[in-house]
Homo-oligomer: A and B are copies of this chain.
Amino acid sequence: MLKFLGMLTANTIKTIRALQQKKHRKLSGLFVAEGHRLVCDLLTSPLRLETIYHTNNWQPDRCSSDNRFIEISPKDMSRISGLSTPTPVLAIVHIPAHQIEIKHLDGTLALALDNIQDPGNMGTIIRLADWFGIKHIICSHNTADAFAPKVVQSTMGAIARVSILYTNLAQYLEAAKDAGITIYGTFLDGENIYTQHLNSAGIIVLGNEGNGISNEVEKLVNSRITIPHFCDDENTSESLNVAMATAIVCSEFRSRSIKRS
């Protein structure tokens, strides 16, 4: 385990703090992860860690010889941390350059996010994907950044296990459809998900919090699904939050495979 001990220069502090902003993450190809559980999950993942800054009371769960650890003072930790209560460890991580080729989706279930805006929803959706064994999330370019510090923290380590691709979503889905993959989409006026036939494989599209799935993506959907509401009162909540909808849709797809087997 390589270990350095040192004071951080003003320039290093500035560079790390800049990673709170999307433009600097994009320029450097790096993101920040904080906290023991999260950093340990990242240390055992395929993701490449640039540097692990920690205070003197911190130890990783397992010894990891090929990483660069730098011990810093609690004062320096509070200078580089984006949290109001800094933890004993902060890692600088390379944003993975996943390609997610369409042939890799064959026979699997994947999610597609069409302009999801809220970082909280984004984090929850990544965590749900991990729980339900969904390895791939394809995002439109204008979807919230999965590598923003708030999102990374809220995934509770799932960011280390789920591949996330930002791309031209309509083009990607068109190519996937041409390759024979079923595109499911969640709408307010689709077929009842509980009675609809659901394959064990396919791509499930989730749309923007306010506007739903965009027109160009909607055209590519093979199967329109809806979560019906069970309230006879017409005043009931107009729609479920997209993270709630993701939980229900993923659960329903996965439960079918259990009930079939």
Chain A residues in the interface with B (C-beta under 8 A): 41, 44-45, 124, 127-128, 130-133, 156-158, 160-161, 192, 194-195, 227-233, 235-238, 240-241, 243-244, 247-248, 251-252, 254-255, 258-259
Complex: how many Å from CA A237 to CA B133?
Answer: 11
Known: A44-B235, A195-B259, A251-B251. A229 touches B131 (CB 8 A): yes
> Nearest-CB distance from A65 to chain B (Å)?
19
Q: Give the 6 A-B CB pairs with smallest separation, nearest first.
A: A133-B230, A247-B247, A194-B255, A133-B231, A248-B251, A194-B258
Q: Tell me which residues across on chain B come within 8 A of A158, comparing CB atoms.
A: 236-237
- From B131, B236, B241, B259, contact of A230 by CB (8 A): B131
Complex: how many Å from CA A195 to CA B44?
Answer: 33
> In the complex the two chains form, is A227's CB within 8 Å of B241's CB?
no
Task: Identify the closest chain B residue to A44 (Cβ).
Answer: B235
Task: Identify the closest chain B residue to A236 (Cβ).
Answer: B130
Most buried by B among A44, A158, A241, A252: A241
Q: Tell me which residues across on chain B come within 8 A of A229, comparing CB atoms.
A: 131-133
> In the complex the two chains form, is A132's CB within 8 Å of B230's CB?
yes
Q: Tell me which residues across on chain B come within 8 A of A194, comparing CB atoms.
A: 254-255, 258-259
Task: Identify the closest chain B residue to A233 (Cβ).
Answer: B161
- From B130, B251, B252, contact of A237 by CB (8 A): B130
Complex: how many Å from CA A160 to CA B231?
Answer: 13
Q: Tell me which residues across on chain B come within 8 A of A227, comparing CB atoms.
A: 131, 251
> In the complex the two chains form, is A254's CB within 8 Å of B235's CB?
no
> In the complex the two chains form, is B235's CB within 8 Å of A131's CB?
no
Complex: how many Å from CA A44 to CA B233?
Answer: 11
Q: Tell me which residues across on chain B come within 8 A of A238, comparing CB atoms.
A: 156
- From B161, B195, B252, B259, contact of A251 by CB (8 A): B252
